[in-house]
Amino acid sequence: MATPLFFFFFFFFFADQVLAAPRVKPLADLQVRAELALDPAAGPESIAFDSNGGGPYTGVADGSILRWNASARRWDPFSNPPRHGNETCGGPYPQITENVCGRPLGLQFEHSSGDLYIADAYFGLMKVGPDGGTAEPVAFEAEGQPLFFTNGVDIDQKRGTVYLTDSSAHFRRRDFLMLMLTGDATGRLLSYEKGTGEVKVLLRGLAFPNGLAMDKDGEFLLITETTNRRVLRYWLRGPKKGKVDVFADLMGFPDNIKRTERGDFWVALGLGRASAEAEAPVLCPVAVRLAVDGAVEEVMEDCTAPGAISEVEERNGGLWFGSVVRPYVEVYNM
């Protein structure tokens, strides 16, 4: 997640990376299928579909989770965090109150139960049943240290383990720019076992760990490390179990990462860095598609609103774009 101040600040300081020439596709060349307006809400950071293909669901800046009602062409309330009831929450950008209203970031459904798991920056890891309602906190600390900036979430659908990121031990979500500027590396990768309630720290010392995505075979987990502009691979099984390596270096600051049905991955770039590659110059990269070996296969470019995209979900022949600032979810035909 990011803000407009972040976009402009970094654009002038990081525009020098040269990468191998991928296929570059301007967003302007794609047909817009729909803009699912959120008015008066804003900031659909992450997008999720339930096991029946229903949705999308998204979390917005006032702390709530919304579900798209396709027949009525509107967003309906689905869930809220367990507030005390006296908070004034609502409107598009209540950043000053997000510590009491909540700020949902990563979302993921568990297919077997229909539960939606929510990484809320302030309330920790929560879940809510398929009928919605008030979300239930399930993890809010690990090794005696509170979850201070819960961010990404993914689920091993075969084994039921939930993975999540805690982006910093020192900086809250609304202070994420200072997290990056100071080089803070107190972020963690954690796991939650729903059967026992046990929360384990799998990795520590990460510089702004953000989105998560498991590979198709459940062999490894990918973590976007925003400050270091890269994707890390944490091995879950096999001879490399428990080890971590660099999966991909990126032409920008990654936000969320999502696996496609094919098994490759879309990474949203909170801010792209211009690439001087002569064969395929990229001025305003907003998303990249990574192959299963980490190679950059495709780059989406948009110079009209760089830095506004927080997630790309490929589904039903379209690309669904989440944003931490826009008041809509945008859908493009592929």
Per-residue model confidence as pLDDT tens digits over 56-98: 999 999 999 999 999 999 999 999 999 866 667 876 666 667 8
Give the residue among 334, 302, 305 at the shortest CA–CA distance from 320.
Answer: 334
CA 309 to chain centre: 10
* Tens digits of residue pLDDT in 297-319: 999 999 887 678 999 999 989 99
pTM for the model stands at 0.91
Q: Of 80 and 275, which is predicted with more confidence?
A: 80
List the structure tokens of 213. Answer: 């995505």
Identify the CATH class of 4-333.
mainly beta
List the structure tokens of 183. Answer: 């080089």
Cα angle for residues 290, 103, 268 (degrees, 5° grid): 15
Task: Tell how strand 116-120 and strand 124-128 pair up.
Answer: antiparallel
Q: Strands across the sheet with 124-128, in order? A: 104-109, 116-120, 124-128, 136-139
Q: Is residue 225 within 8 Å of residue 208, measured between CB atoms?
A: yes
Tell me the domain boundaries of the chain.
4-333
